[in-house]
């Protein structure tokens, strides 16, 4: 076999890619289902329908370049695989065409692995409203899958890459660990709310063996969670000094009740003075 490096979209069609996509789809659906607001955005990877379970009235999918079919022709839209969230815009993730503090939710499936991570995170922080959420999926650099890729890189350096075939994972040098991601988010004013790891099985390429070894996901989630091949992080944008306003009907009712109570106290005092 020849030494071959594949891209993310092509790799997602392999058994490990479908296995990863299934886990990430389940985690993202769970994370976004109860996030409320008006405007949600997914950045990249239309193969993962990250906003299909969210109930916001305005949901968009953004990509950095138009997707292509097998013949290399650009697709006019994505229906499917993007579900009920159509392709809305093609844009640079480091310069999003949204006003500051205008989005309630941003989903980023492997977005930081395919763009300038620092600049993209800064741009997401700019467009998110206070208390807005960002959901990030990535590949874990400390996992059995990454260990297999490191071995393949070593073989390539030794000139033996032709004996290994194509890489088990895409994204040659773009792994971003959870601890580094936490630090970046904290510097931008985010508070990490949820961290989940998944895909704890060994780096095998066969769909049959992935199914047979599925029990390792349950075992790994308990005994070696941080060694999962993938992770999902949910973070909330915090703004110092920001104050969330409650429902107006509640404050009006409280003010009305206070006014009635104050009036009743004055009436009681007047009656007491009259009796004296």
Mean pLDDT check: name the lowest of 19-23, 34-38, 251-255: 251-255
Look at residue 203 in the predicted model and tell me its pLDDT.
76
pLDDT bin (cut points 50, 70, 90) of residue 273 is low
Look at residue 82 in the predicted model and tell me its pLDDT.
45
DSSP H or E run through 259: helix 248-275
Q: Is the pLDDT of residue 127 over 90?
A: yes
CA atoms within 13 A on the CB side of 218: 5
Average pLDDT of the segment spanning 167-190:
83
Look at residue 87 in the predicted model and tell me its pLDDT.
67
Average pLDDT of the segment spanning 241-251:
56
pLDDT bin (cut points 50, 70, 90) of residue 216 is confident
87-90/128-139 β-pairing: unpaired
Mean pLDDT check: name the lowest of 39-48, 118-127, 154-163: 154-163
% of the chain residues with pLDDT over 90: 42
The residue among 104, 132, 108, 133 whose CA lies nearest residue 120 is 108
Mean pLDDT check: name the lowest of 80-89, 119-128, 199-208: 80-89
Q: Is the pLDDT of residue 175 over 60?
A: yes
* Residue 52 CA, distance from chain mean position: 13
CA dist list (Å): 130 to 100, 101, 134, 188, 190: 10, 7, 11, 12, 10
Q: Could you tell me the residue ranges of all domains in the chain?
A: 8-244, 247-276
Please give the mean pLDDT across all residues of the chain: 79
| Number of residues that make up the chain | 276
Look at residue 59 in the predicted model and tell me its pLDDT.
93
Strand-pairing partners, residue 43, are 62
The residue among 174, 156, 173 whose CA lies nearest residue 165 is 156
Average pLDDT of the segment spanning 220-245:
84
Q: Is the pLDDT of residue 74 over 70?
A: no
Average pLDDT of the segment spanning 2-10:
58
Q: Is 262 helix (H, G, I), strand (E, B) or coil?
A: helix
The residue among 202, 268, 246, 230 whose CA lies nearest residue 28 is 230
The residue among 145, 142, 149, 141 whose CA lies nearest residue 165 is 149
Torsion (CA) 67, 71, 73, 77 in degrees, nearest 10? -50
CB 105 within 8 A of CB 37: yes
Give the Cα separation of 85 and 82 in Å (integer). 6
Give the Cα separation of 163 and 248 in Å (integer). 68
Give the Cα separation of 121 and 205 in Å (integer). 33
Q: Which residue has the higher pLDDT, 25 or 264?
A: 25
Give the Cα separation of 90 and 80 in Å (integer). 17
The residue among 142, 127, 151 whose CA lies nearest residue 181 is 142
Highest mean pLDDT: which range of 42-51, 120-129, 194-203: 120-129
CA atoms within 13 A on the CB side of 190: 25
Highest mean pLDDT: which range of 50-54, 83-87, 215-219, 222-226: 50-54
* Residue 204 CA, distance from chain mean position: 26
103-109/230-237 β-pairing: unpaired
Q: Given CATH 3.40.50.150, say whether it is the number of domain 8-244.
A: yes
């Amino acid at each position: 076999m020849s030494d071959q490096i594949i891209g993310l979209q092509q790799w997602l069609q392999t058994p490990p890619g479908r296995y990863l996509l299934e886990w990430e789809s389940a985690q993202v659906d769970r994370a976004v289902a109860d996030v409320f607001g008006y405007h949600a955005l997914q950045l990249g990877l239309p193969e993962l329908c990250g906003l299909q379970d969210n109930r916001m009235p305005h949901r968009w999918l953004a990509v950095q370049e138009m997707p292509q079919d097998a013949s290399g022709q650009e697709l006019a839209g994505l229906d499917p695989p993007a579900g009920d969230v159509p392709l809305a815009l093609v844009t640079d993730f480091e310069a999003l065409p949204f006003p500051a503090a205008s989005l309630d939710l941003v989903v980023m499936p492997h977005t930081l692995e395919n763009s300038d991570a620092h600049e993209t995170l800064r741009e997401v922080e700019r467009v998110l409203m206070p208390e807005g959420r960002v959901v990030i999926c990535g590949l874990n650099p400390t996992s059995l899958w990454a260990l297999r890729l490191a071995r393949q890189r070593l073989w390539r350096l030794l000139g033996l890459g032709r004996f290994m075939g194509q890489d088990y994972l895409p994204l040659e040098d773009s792994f971003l660990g959870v601890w580094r991601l936490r630090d970046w988010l904290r510097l931008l004013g985010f508070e990490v709310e949820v961290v989940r790891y998944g895909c704890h099985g060994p780096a095998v390429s066969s769909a049959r063996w992935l199914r047979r070894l599925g029990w390792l996901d349950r075992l790994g989630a308990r005994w070696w969670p941080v060694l999962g091949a993938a992770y999902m992080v949910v973070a909330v944008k915090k703004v110092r000094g920001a104050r969330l306003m409650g429902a107006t009907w509640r404050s009006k009712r409280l003010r009305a009740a206070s006014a009635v109570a104050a009036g009743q106290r004055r009436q009681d005092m007047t009656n007491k003075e009259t009796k004296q």
